[in-house]
Amino acid sequence: MSEVGVKLRHLEGCSRERPVLLVSVNVGRPREVDWHGRVVRTSIWKSPVAGRLRVDSLNVEGDEQSDLSVHGGRDKAVYAYPREHYEYWRGELPAADLPWGAFGENFTTEGLLERDVRIGDRIRIGSAEFVVTQPRMPCFKLGIRFGRDDMVKRFLRSGRLGFYLAVLNEGDVASGDALDRVSRDDIGVTVEDIGALYVRDRDNEPLLRRALEVPALPESWKQYFRKRLFEPDVHGDKA
């Protein structure tokens, strides 16, 4: 077995032959685009970069968020998206150009899917360590990226949301690095579970209560779920 093969770790629920690795590191700077007659500032366009990059508590080297009121921050320092989902989107959007980073992700990953990854899982990549915090809930700028007003709804309904990472230990990463899940959250609420509670499984009271127990889930999500539990007429936005 090669040195790379020795480094690869295989996650629970995945086949033993399946690598778990960082396929691409993608960064982007803010740009202004015209959208329905107005100028919008966005950083959703990301491009793959080679070499090792520094990851600090708020960002990946060379990347910059445009609107810090909804993007970035410690709980959303890095956005990861599985390469496995690209095949689905190539079928759904046959005319779209889909290089790595097309969904605005900083990390394109292999071997980490929403149904297997728990909120609170700790993952080491290169010399940095991360914790999974939440799924991605896209804003209208995803529609700008693909030139489609329906893209946000399609993305949510697909369940292929990806997930955000907070940085526990700063370090450097590069494409090709192994992803080593160093610990799993004991409560067992997955990224897929949180996405389902928002999109389709809105009245699952046992799951709502379990989600509130997850230390790594951001307080904004917990406030939303408390309203769902204790103010059942509060439904929020539906996809």
- pTM value > 0.85: yes
Give the number of domains in the chain: 1
Give the residue numbers spanning the domain of 31: 3-190
Express each pLDDT in 108-155 by its tens digit. Answer: 999 999 999 999 999 999 999 999 999 999 999 999 999 999 999 999
CATH of the domain at 131: 2.40.33.20
| Helices first, then strands: H and E counts in the chain | 7, 12
Mean per-residue pLDDT of the chain: 89
Inform me whether the pLDDT recorded for 232 exceeds 70.
no
Question: Strands 47-48 and 21-27, how do they pair?
Answer: antiparallel
Q: Is residue 239 part of a domain?
A: no
CA pair distance 61, 11, nearest whole angstrom: 28
The strand pairing partners of 118, in sequence order, are 190
Distance (Å, whole) CA 201 – CA 209: 13
Domain-embedded: residue 231 = no
Instruction: Examine residue 227 and state whether it is found in any structural domain, yes or no.
Output: no
User: What's the CA gap between 33 and 18, in Å, rounded?
Assistant: 39
Q: Is residue 19 part of a domain?
A: yes
Flag whether pLDDT at 7 surpasses 50: no
Express each pLDDT in 66-84 by its tens digit: 666 566 689 999 999 999 9
Q: What is the CA radius of gyration of the chain?
A: 18
- CA distances to 33, 34, 132, 178, 209 from 82, in Å: 27, 29, 14, 14, 28
